[in-house]
Amino acid sequence: MDELPIGRRVAYWRTRRRLSQQVFADRLAKSKSWVDKIERGVRRLDKFSVLYDIADVLQVDVQLLLGREPERRPGGMTCLDQVEVADIRSALERYDQISTFFHAPPQPPSIDELRKAVQHAWLSYQHARYGPLARVLPKLLRDAQAADTVYGGDSGMLAAHLLGQVYQIASSSLRKLGELELAWLAADRSIAVSLRAGDQLLAGTASYRVGSALLALGRARPALEVNVNIANRLAPGDTRRATPELVSVYGMLLLQGAMAAARIGDSATVRDLLTGADVAARGLGGNHNYYWTSFSPTNVDIHRAAAMVELGEGGLAVETHEHLDRASFAAMLPERRAHHYVDLARGLAQVGDIERASEMLLEGDRLAPSEIRCRPIAHEVLSDVLRRTKGAPSAPVAELAETMGVGV
């Protein structure tokens, strides 16, 4: 993209961020006509102050808009810079199995080494350590792809299973950080690999990731269909099939389907899917993490709160939060809890409790900073909170806003 005119680069990143010209113009305090002229090259973009404003709105390094290599940020809190995005994209674009017709494949790590690396990546994701995870994902993808290409027999099945997991980790991380098209690609790759691994449940979790990516892309109805379709296929009707792993995957598909239904505004389907997930979770009990799903009764409750927020029922979301089992919630992984605080902040903002919405964002930041500072939705919620705060925000909120680059 280095050879493109600067206006074309602006248009490219605006599209990647799923902003219309009008919304983009509003955030810059410019007219839609001004944006259109910049993107078509009719008007020159020669003021650095304006260029930095554009980079802030698009959440990209200004060097990218200038056609230069962005600098890596040394130390501190990092999320996902464009160098890392390019590295992950490059790893996802590899087709090692085809290239082995022409060249000897690279030597992969052992299955045991790869399994440990994948487990570490899952833990990094579920503890919301997105910056460090983004930096190891490209190599982990290449290693898992090489293992899937080289190993055969039982080792080949294990390699395929691990590669499917790596694609899912990549998909979930990229979706969190706003790289939605890449998240969809990684999830789709996971489905194909899961079939080769011969694991229905891995295919089920891959379908869940596809549904999550589709929902993030604004494709709520296809997201609903894929989750419900696969959930119906996995439904543990025979109690002998109802292993904890199967119930967990089945339940998470129902929960993701409920979120898609909420986005559509179909409250009846939301209720039905949440009821089905609740029945499954009550039978399972406890706080579990089978197939890295974190499926449990408490996870059903925080999805219920999130669905209420999507339906515009912030009061019901807050009520659901008030009735959470505190001990079970405290035992959940940091990513799940901090994610819930973002949803709760949205619900509180819906009912006009801006002060408490601010507190939820601060609580999430104390628990898992990357979940607040790195997610575009958290930036949007904080921006809304600041806009609706009467007078000056509290010092902690102002400090968080400055750290996140959200205007006070």
pLDDT in tens, 129-160: 998 898 899 999 999 999 999 999 999 999 99
96-105 core/surface letters (b: 16 or more CB in 10 A; e: else): beeeeeeeee
Task: Give the pair of three-digit tokens for residue 130.
Answer: 């997105």
CA angle 153, 154, 157 (to 5 degrees): 95
At residue 408, the pLDDT reads 56
Tell whether the model's pLDDT for residue 74 goes beyond 50.
no
Report d(CA 235, CA 16) in Å as an integer. Answer: 37
**In whole numbers, what is the pLDDT of the chain averaged over residues?**
89
Q: Chain-centre distance of CA 68, in angstroms? A: 27
Rounded to 10°, the helix 200-216/220-234 angle is 160
pLDDT average, residue stretch 82-89: 79
**Long-range contacts of residues 181-186, Cβ cutoff 8 Å, at least 24 apart:** 181/16, 181/217, 182/85, 182/88, 182/89, 182/92, 183/209, 183/212, 183/213, 183/216, 184/210, 184/213, 184/214, 184/217, 185/92, 186/92
* Res 76: pLDDT: 43
DSSP 304-349: HHHHHHHTT-HHHHHHHHHTS-HHHHHHS-HHHHHHHHHHHHHHHH
Correct CATH for 1-71 of 3.40.50.1820, 1.10.260.40, 1.10.1760.20, 3.30.70.100: 1.10.260.40
pLDDT at position 72 is 47
The answer to whether the beta carbons of residues 142 and 163 sit under 8 Å apart is no
Q: Alpha helices, DSSP H only, in 151-266?
A: 153-176, 180-197, 200-216, 220-234, 244-264
What local confidence, expressed as pLDDT, does residue 33 receive?
93
Confidence tier at 73 by pLDDT (50, 70, 90):
very low
User: What is the full DSSP assignment across 269-294?
Assistant: HHHHHHHHHHHHHHHH-S---GGG--
Block residue for tokens 């925080």 = 302
Q: pTM of the entire structure?
A: 0.80
Q: Degrees (nearest 5) of the Cα angle 264, 265, 266?
A: 95
Q: Which amino acid is at 322?
A: E
**Lowest-confidence region among 21-30, 48-57, 184-193, 269-278:** 48-57
**pLDDT of residue 5 exceeding 90:** no
CA distances from 104 to 99, 125, 268 (A): 8, 33, 55
Residue 43 phi, psi (nearest 5): -115, 140
> Where do the structural domains in the chain lie, given as residue ranges?
1-71, 82-196, 218-332, 341-408
Q: Per the structure block, which two tokens stand in for 296?
A: 């449990």
Rounded to 5°, the CA angle 184-84-1 comes to 80
CA 18 to mean position of chain CA atoms:
15
Q: Which two tokens stand for residue 408?
A: 């006070």
| 90 vs 253, more confident | 253
267 pLDDT above the threshold of 50? yes
Q: What is the tens place of the pLDDT at every residue in 228-264? A: 999 999 998 766 668 999 999 999 999 999 999 999 9
Chain-centroid distance, C-alpha 168 = 11
